[in-house]
Amino acid sequence: MLSAFANAFKTPDLRKKILFTIGIILIFRIGSITPVPNVNVAQVDICRKVVAEGDSAGLYSLVNLFSGGALLQLAVFALGIMPYITASIILQLLTVVVPRLEALKKEGAAGQTKITQYTRYLTLVLAVLNSTAFVTLAVNGQLFRGCDGQIVYSTDIFPVVLMVLTMTAGTAVVMWLGELITERGVGNGMSLLIFVQIAATFPTAMWQIRTQKGVVAFILVLIVGLMVMAGVIFMELGQRRIPVQYAKRMVGRRMFGGTTTYIPLKVNQAGVIPVIFASSMLYLPSLFAQFRPESEMARWISTYFVTGDHPLYMAVMFIMIVFFTYFYVAITFDPHEVADNMKKYGGFIPGIRAGKPTEKYLGFVLSRLTFPGSFYLGLISLLPSIAFILVQANQNFPFGGTSLLIIVGVGLDTVKQIESKLQQRNYEGFLR
């Protein structure tokens, strides 16, 4: 593996791409620790410690995770890549129900460029809404619940608007940096930025376990974490390859077809999206409780749906992840469309007739794969809550949930891309 790294840096164009990616990541990390104007940094540091001890950041845990802790620092890149992720998911869902977007998707590269443009516009709209909400919470003293003290110097309209505009501009810059990595660097830019932000929280989380629970607990968590990571890698690489053969056909004087390929159906076909969906839905009861804190319903929600370690919360979270896994797979992989395309180009699955039988077969295989995939996602997402119950770890337990799924998925994808570039030059890749 060390020789593969050496060969990667010996190749001029690949070395240039890797160094360019590292440079963008450094800029990104600087923006993630640079506070926006009008922020009392000393008071923010005090409140962050209070929040960490009382685990009051449960409401914002997902956004704070994707921002690498920048949200609770009120940094320029406080929103991170979360608005872009939300916009991408919304556009992907609308593609199924809006005929105009569905037509654009079928136009190929030109249509995808237009959809990407819509995603950018929606990202900016969501960034304005999110930044306004978080700045309002900061001004009202509700961002760090349980911490007294003013975390902004001035509550006048101009400084507050400047904070909102700075966070929104930071989201636009993050989106631009991600696209730069995709075009001129190595790997998918947006995914790499998420990877970097999540990985940035690992040392702090592990050190907290070391200082609070001792060396034995630290080593135990590290061993269990590595075992879980190995299991996640095994599941993420698991796939069912359905063989497809294409019949030979004459077009003019040339013979086409006669090839054999396969359709790869992954065990985790939905990725990390169901976990994000479920976390967002479970955020709504907490949001209601924040606006009506005196009601009986709000007290019930605060008891069962805020900390995340209650059995009812864990059961609802698990059921919702299973549901959203089936839902997302159903809208992203259409057996009817795949069967029609195979029939159009003369493809068929050996032993299965083209058309409706192929569609039924693909749907049957996909449902059989989605069942263990959904349970796998549910169990992985509950690891932080289980760790909180067993060893009283922080809710941002590093080895589990959304963070581990993203780190493993992005890491595998980036390594494969680097290896493919090395194999083009007859070098031994990372995975050998």
Other CB atoms within a 10 A radius of the CB of residue 368 amount to: 12
> Which of 226-230, 262-266, 383-387: highest mean pLDDT?
262-266
Q: By mean pLDDT, which of 20-29, 128-137, 250-259, 390-399 is the weakest? A: 390-399
Split into its structural domains, the chain has a count of 2
**CATH number, domain with residue 155:** 1.10.3370.10
Q: By mean pLDDT, which of 1-5, 74-78, 206-210, 381-385 is the weakest? A: 1-5
Both 171 and 221 in one domain: the answer is: no
Coil, helix or strand for 343?
A: helix
Instruction: Give the separation between CA 138 and CA 35, rounded to whole angstroms.
Output: 13
Which residues 6+ apart lie within 8 Å of 283 measured at CB?
59, 62
Domain that holds residue 241: 214-399
Both 234 and 146 in one domain: the answer is: no
With beta carbons less than 8 A apart as the criterion, state whether 376 and 235 touch: yes
Instruction: Give the separation between CA 396 and CA 55, rounded to whole angstroms.
Output: 9
Mind giving me the DSSP string for 261-307? Answer: EEEEEETTTTTTHHHHHHHHHHHHHHHHHHH-TTSHHHHHHHHHSSS
Both 171 and 240 in one domain: the answer is: no
Both 114 and 223 in one domain: the answer is: no
Phi first, then psi: what are they for 108, rounded to 5°? Answer: 90, -140
- How many helices (H) and strands (E) would you count in the chain? 17, 5
Q: Is residue 282 part of a domain?
A: yes
| More confident of the two residues 358 and 217 | 358
Which residues 6+ apart lie within 8 Å of 240 measured at CB?
264, 265, 267, 365, 369
Per-residue model confidence as pLDDT tens digits over 165-204: 999 999 999 999 999 998 888 888 888 888 888 888 778 7
Q: Is residue 68 part of a domain?
A: yes
**Mean pLDDT of all residues in the chain?**
80
Both 231 and 157 in one domain: the answer is: no
CA angle, residues 253, 259, 265, in degrees to nearest 5:
145
Both 105 and 249 in one domain: the answer is: no
Cβ-based burial of 377 (10 A; exposed 0-12, middle 13-18, buried ≥19): buried
Both 313 and 265 in one domain: the answer is: yes
Residue 415, pLDDT > 50, answer yes
Other CB atoms within a 10 A radius of the CB of residue 271 amount to: 19
pLDDT the model gives residue 106:
79
Other CB atoms within a 10 A radius of the CB of residue 59 amount to: 18
Q: Is residue 419 part of a domain?
A: no
Both 19 and 145 in one domain: the answer is: yes
Average of per-residue pLDDT across 76-93: 85
Both 133 and 281 in one domain: the answer is: no
Q: Is residue 70 part of a domain?
A: yes
Both 269 and 309 in one domain: the answer is: yes
Q: Is residue 424 part of a domain?
A: no
- Report CA dihedral (280, 286, 292, 296) to the nearest 10 degrees: 130
Cβ-based burial of 137 (10 A; exposed 0-12, middle 13-18, buried ≥19): middle
Q: Is residue 305 part of a domain?
A: yes
CA angle, residues 362, 363, 365, in degrees to nearest 5:
65
Coil, helix or strand for 334?
A: coil
Both 7 and 114 in one domain: the answer is: yes
Both 250 and 119 in one domain: the answer is: no
Q: Is residue 293 part of a domain?
A: yes
Q: Is residue 201 part of a domain?
A: no
pLDDT band at residue 54, thresholds of 50, 70 and 90? very low
With beta carbons less than 8 A apart as the criterion, state whether 127 and 172 touch: yes
- Report CA dihedral (273, 289, 125, 196) to the nearest 10 degrees: -50
